[in-house]
Chain A
Amino acid sequence: MATLARLQARSKSIAQQYYYRNSVVDIFRKKENDAAIKIQSWFRGCQVRAYIRYLHRVATIIQKRWRGYLGRQQYQVIVKLAYYTMKMNLYNAMAVRIQRRWRGYKIRKYCFNYYYLKEYLKAVSETSDAIREALEEFAEMKEREEKKADLEREEKERDYQARKMHYLLSTKQIPGIYNSPFRKDPDPWELRLQKAKPLTHRRPEVKRKRSICLSDWLACTSARSFPRSGILPPIDRKRCQGPFRDISEVLEQRYKPLEPTLRVAEPIDGLTEARAQLQKQEWARNVNDSFCHFLPIIKTKNTFRQCIYQANMVLMLMELNISEMKILRDGSVTRISKLYCHHLISSQNMEKCIQKLDKLYKGSRTSSSVRLYYSLSMADVANHNLHFY
């Protein structure tokens, strides 16, 4: 217990002693600690620095490598681009060459022909010159015509003057004004006066009878009352070109009378008409051309042909109606009836013949019937001849 007490009493000093003994160390401890820390930190620092150096070196290597890689990549891109550009430039240059040639060709062939233009301009200038010349000629011609017209007018004027002053002509005895004896030649007016015909007095003008105009006797003068023809004159009617023939010749030709040939001039039934006319004349003159009364009676041979002709006629007669026969013209009736009669006579049927004749010419008062009677009777009386007409 005592120790304890003593310890307890000394505890504070022990504590202090303990503390002081420990703290001695502590005095140096801090210093030593600090020193140690310094050394350690320095060393750690060196370590770290070495490590960092190492890292730097390595990082540099990595970056170097990486940058080289990137640079090479860029370089490749650039090279590619440059190559591409170079190729494109080449292509462009070639394309330009082609296009240049092609454009030149196209323009020259299809759009613009330089030589044609030059020719055209030359042609235009030639045309201009030609037109200028032509117009100059035209103007000159017009001037000449005008001058000529003026000269002619003056000539006419002078001629007219000469005609009016015809009395100034010189006679054999008295020389005129323009023919002075002191002159070598007579004045040209003198010659003109000699050529001129004297002017006669103007005859009193026959007053031309005013042609009666439509409006003079019509109350309504408007042209609409008299409708014109619907056809208007043709627009581009050119005047007829001369030279023209003499009008009398033309009229002669136009109104030339018809001069037909003999064949054309005759009518188509001219022959029958002529015969008829002749017959009429004969009947009128009562000409009897039959020689049966004057010549000796000669028996003539009855030829075959004539027989047939007569037979035919007779047959025809028989077929004909009596009224029809009357329509026939006189000549033919008499001829046919004559033949009929002769046939009857030849058949020696006198009675029958006369009876037939009576029937034929019942009531008819033609002279032919009388004559037939007469001839018939004469023939019968004379003999039984056949007369051929």
Chain B
Amino acid sequence: MSQRQVLQVFEQYQKARTQFVQMVAELATRPQNIETLQNAGSILLLLPLLLDVVPTIQQTAALALGRLANYNDDLAEAVVKGDILPQLVYSLAEQNRFYKKAAAFVLRAVGKHSPQLAQAIVDCGALDTLVICLEDFDPGVKEAAAWALGYIARHNAELSQAVVDAGAVPLLVLCIQEPEIALKRIAVSALSDIAKHSPELAQTVVDAGVIAHLAQMILNPDAKLKRQVLSALSQIAKHSVDLAEMVVEAEIFPVVLTCLKDKDEYVKKNASTLIREIAKHTPELSQLIVNAGGVAAVIDCIGSCKGNIRLPGIMLLGYVAAHSENLAMAVIISKGVPQLSLCLSEEPEDHIKAAAAWALGHIGRHTPEHARAVAVTNTLPVLLSLYMSTESSEDLQVKSKKAIKNILQKCTYLPALEPFLYDAPPNILKHVVGQFSKVLPHDSKARRLFVTSGGLKKVQEIKAEPGSLLQEYINSINNCYPEEIVRYYSPGYSETLLQRVDSYQPLTN
């Protein structure tokens, strides 16, 4: 009789524990409760329950701890301070798959906040156990382990190296080939996080034979998977020319261009990032992209997006045009310049405007043809206004100034230069007048136009120090015209005429 009562006590206790743990786990799903839970000291209460006898309580406690640690890095630190990580790692190796999933979730939640916490996890020896979990039969366990490894490797190169040294990369490559989409996503994202830090890590990832699989997975219809795959390929390609060439050899063009037409915005962004990372290394790679029609596709993509999504595409155009004048001409005939000027004028953010200004500068700086193509679209006044405006950030001002200078030095399209005479600051005016002085001596029609449009008048009004470059330019312009016209347009000529009238004695008949 008393034995049953004694056992009843224990049963009650177990029920109470189970209920507590389940409620906490449920409450932890809602962010508004987390503060209260934190203040109530739930972590300290949950820690001993991780070592509970009953496996269900262990698992639910691990799940609750994971959710709490996921939310906030103070809570994650509290988990680390509670010295529970070694125990977690040990049980990760031993227990059944539900516990493994929950424990891997806790490790992920702790490791994602900062490098120090991730280092703490690595110091407990969690990496080896996580890698063992990657070989498990259950795809859910593999997913949780891969996710945790990805978050650890995300922070810096040393942690990535530690993950690679634990032998995770070949297993992640095997995980990519599994049929479950969620597992594929997580494995690809983990590989992308590993490869992004340094060329050696990227080479290690590539040596595991991952590029072929990623190239195949671009055709997968799932949008989130495509995001991760494109991001992984761009992280690999960005480090060096060899890696970029290896990515290109996997025959991603022209399949990647179809991703530029995807409905998902981030797929478009990652696809243009990938193309940009490939194009920026050498002129040959840029040539390849131009020949494949990538530039036209990216220009269309820029036209169909807004905001930050456009940024990699704009930078791609800048990189391609910067390599050589033929490529810049290719960008121009693919109708890139109107699109870029549209971006420049309608985007609200400064860094995107700065990128567009930079790209335009690179397109227009090669030859007078290129400068003419840029000037015809009326972007130069926009650039000037951005340079002069006080609201623009410093970066934007610097970039627009450089762009204007580069374009002006080659621009011979006078109708676009004329507005500059009126409202340009002196340092830009110098270049404008210089350009006029180069063009006017040779072109009579231009001279006539210059006079009739009032440009000569304006030039006379410019005050320049004698002996300066500006004065030389003004002199060379004045030399193109007969003296009477120059005198006629010089300021104060009407006064001198009137003075002559005053001093004139009419002939008395």
Q: Which residues of chain B are within 8 angstroms of A135 by Cβ–Cβ distance?
A: 257-258, 260-261, 297, 300
Cα of A178 to Cα of B212 in the assembled complex, Å: 58
Asked if B97 and A139 sit within 8 Å, CB to CB, the answer is: no
Please measure, in the bound complex, the distance between the C-alpha atom of A125 and the C-alpha atom of B296, giving whole angstroms.
8
B96: A residues at CB distance < 8 A: 215, 221
Stretch from A75-83, A126-134, A274-282, A375-383 that touches the partner: A126-134
Q: Which of B93, B300, B330 contacts A121 (CB 8 A)?
A: B330
Q: Report the nearest A residue to B173, measured CB to CB.
A: A235
Q: Report how far A130 CA is from B257 CA in the complex, Å.
A: 12
The answer to whether the Cβ of A323 comes within 8 Å of any Cβ in the partner chain is no
- Does residue B291 face the partner (Cβ distance < 8 Å to A)? yes
Contacts of A215 in B (CB 8 A): 96-97, 137
Q: Cβ of A120 < 8 Å from any Cβ of B?
A: yes
B284 within 8 A of A: no
- The interface residues of chain A lying within 8 Å CB-to-CB of B97 are 215, 221
User: Interface size of B by Cβ–Cβ distance < 8 Å?
Assistant: 33
CB pair A222 B177 closer than 8 Å: no
Q: Is the CB of B257 within 8 A of A131?
A: yes
Residues of chain A with a CB closer than 8 A to B297's CB: 131-132, 135
Bound: A139/B263 CA distance, A: 9
Interface contact B293-A214, CB-CB below 8 Å:
no
Q: Which residues of A contact B258 (CB under 8 A)?
A: 135, 138
| B165 CB → nearest A CB, Å | 18
B contact residues around A235 at 8 Å (CB): 209, 212-213
B132 adjacent to A222 (CB under 8 Å): yes
Beta-carbon contacts of A126-156 to B below 8 Å, as 1s and 0s? 0111111001001100100000000000000
A224 at the interface (CB under 8 A from B): yes
- A236 contacts the other chain (Cβ, under 8 Å)? yes
In the bound assembly, the distance between CA atoms of A129 and B333 in angstroms comes to 11
B261 touches A139 (CB 8 A): yes
Q: CB < 8 Å: which of B136, B177, B257 contacts A223?
A: B136
- A215–B97 alpha-carbon span in the complex (Å): 9
- Within 8 Å by CB of B254, from A125, A131, A214, A232, lies A131
Query: Do residues B132 and A124 form an inter-chain contact, with CB atoms below 8 A?
Result: no
Task: Decide: B333 and A223 in contact? CB cutoff 8 A.
Answer: no
Contact check, A127 vs B213: say whether CB atoms are below 8 A apart. Answer: no
Cβ of A295 to closest chain B Cβ, rounded Å: 88
Instruction: Chain A residues near B294: list those with CB within 8 A.
Output: 131
Distance between Cα atoms of A131 and B335 in the complex (Å)? 14
Tell me, in angstroms, the Cα distance from A166 to B357 when the chains sit together. Answer: 66
Judge whether A117 is part of the interface by a CB distance below 8 angstroms. yes
A104-129 at interface with B (beta carbon < 8 Å): 117, 120-121, 124-125, 127-129
Chain B CB within 10 Å — which of A128, A129, A142 has the most?
A128
Interface membership of chain B positions 282-313, coded 1 if the CB is closer than 8 angstroms to chain A and 0 otherwise: 00000000111111110010000000000000
* Contact yes or no, A121 B293, CB < 8 A: no
CA of A282 to CA of B135, assembled, Å: 73
Contact A117 B212 (CB under 8 A): no
Chain B residue at minimum C-beta to C-beta distance from A122? B333
Across the interface, which residues of A come within 8 angstroms of B137, CB to CB?
213-215, 223
Q: Would A128 and B334 count as touching, CB distance under 8 A?
A: yes
Cα distance A132–B333 in the bound complex, in angstroms: 14
Q: Are A128 and B295 in contact (CB under 8 A)?
A: yes
Q: How far is the CA of A130 from the CA of B329 in the complex (A)?
A: 18
Instruction: Name the distance in Å between B217's Cβ and chain A's nearest Cβ.
Output: 12
Contacting residue for B326 out of A120, A221, A224, CB 8 A: A120
Residues of chain B lying within 8 A (CB to CB) of residue A236: 212, 216
Contact with A along B111-133 (1 / 0, CB 8 A): 00000000000000000000010
Which residues of the other chain, B, contact A138 by a CB distance below 8 angstroms? 258, 261
- Beyond A135-B261, A142-B263, A235-B212, list 16 extra A-B contacts (CB 8 Å): A117-B326, A117-B329, A120-B326, A121-B330, A127-B296, A128-B293, A131-B254, A131-B294, A131-B296, A132-B297, A132-B300, A135-B257, A135-B258, A221-B96, A223-B135, A236-B216
Query: Which of A's residues lie within 8 Å of B, judged by CB?
Result: 117, 120-121, 124-125, 127-132, 135, 138-139, 142, 213-215, 221-224, 232-233, 235-236
Binding site for A on B (CB under 8 A): 93, 96-97, 132, 135-137, 174, 177, 209, 212-213, 216, 254, 257-258, 260-261, 263, 290-297, 300, 326, 329-330, 333-334
10 chain-A/chain-B pairs, Cβ below 8 angstroms:
A125-B333, A128-B293, A131-B254, A135-B258, A138-B261, A215-B96, A215-B97, A221-B97, A222-B132, A223-B135
